[in-house]
Structure 1
Amino acid sequence: MSHIIAIAADHAAYELKSEIADWLRAAGHEVLDLGTDGPQSVDYPDYGYKLAKAIADGEARFGIALCGSGIGISMAANRNPACRSALVSEPLSAELARSHNDANVIAIGARLTGPEMAKVCVERFLATDFLGDRHSRRVDKLGAPQL
């Protein structure tokens, strides 16, 4: 099944972004590339916000957020209540992010996770369905925090 997938990265992850985007296109997915496209220093929150907006606006079903560690861009993306970004570094966390947490974005650290492992994480993420049931109640609470 093909999807529209948004992908965004800062300068530390632009090479990984390009590799993953090309790989996704070759697999038949439509890729919404939100930048950045070079080594010039940029601010990861700007790209996390762009990615989250694309998800919230329905431009893409899933997103891939990339920065040096994956942490900062994930935090930025999660500022948008429509975005459920999970930092992953191996396939089991990618699978659980989808099946238990209905994540619609995965974040990967380009300085911590190599391209082949990143692709395995993306592949598992896209192949996994949300289980619903008892997990739905918990996911619903993510969009409506009781502070």
Structure 2
Amino acid sequence: MRYELGEDLKQLSFIYKVSYNTLKKIKKRSEIKGDPWIKGSRTQAGYERFTEESEKRKIEIEEKINEIARREINQIQNLTDDRYANEDILLDADFEKAADIRLNRVQKMLSIRKDIEKVYSDREKAEIEKIRVDTELKKMDLEHKRIELELKKEEAKEYLK
């Protein structure tokens, strides 16, 4: 389990006073039986689970923030409709000033909440996703180049024989 969490097999053999070769044999046997020991697999699975839960939580927070914004905007709209329901009033400067102040307060509050909760706009999410995809493509390209290098090394060994 500690190996699957990312610790080195040699260090574990020293800690548990077991031959390194014995641990390697047990590892090989587990791979054959279908339950392979993969270094860091539990850490990676835990991280994936954490990010999935984190994304769900962010979606819930974003929905809650949007619900608050809708409620505030509806209140401002209702107050505006009530104020101007009487056709005698075309423009009430005091009311407009109060509505503008309230609207600015709501915008600032929502902006601060989104910053605190790390909720991003659709454009920011798209940029983050683009960066993530670019990183994955670079990793794949690097792996491809590594494999090509290994093949060239093998060809050079064959050529020298």
**Structures share fold, TM-score greater than 0.5:** no
- Looking at secondary structure, tell me which structure has more helix per residue: 2
* Largest Rg, 1 or 2: 2
TM-score normalised per structure 1: 0.17
TM-score of the aligned structures, taking structure 2 as reference length: 0.16
Greater strand fraction, Structure 1 or Structure 2: 1
Q: RCO (CA 8 Å, sep 6+): is it higher in 1 or 2? A: 1
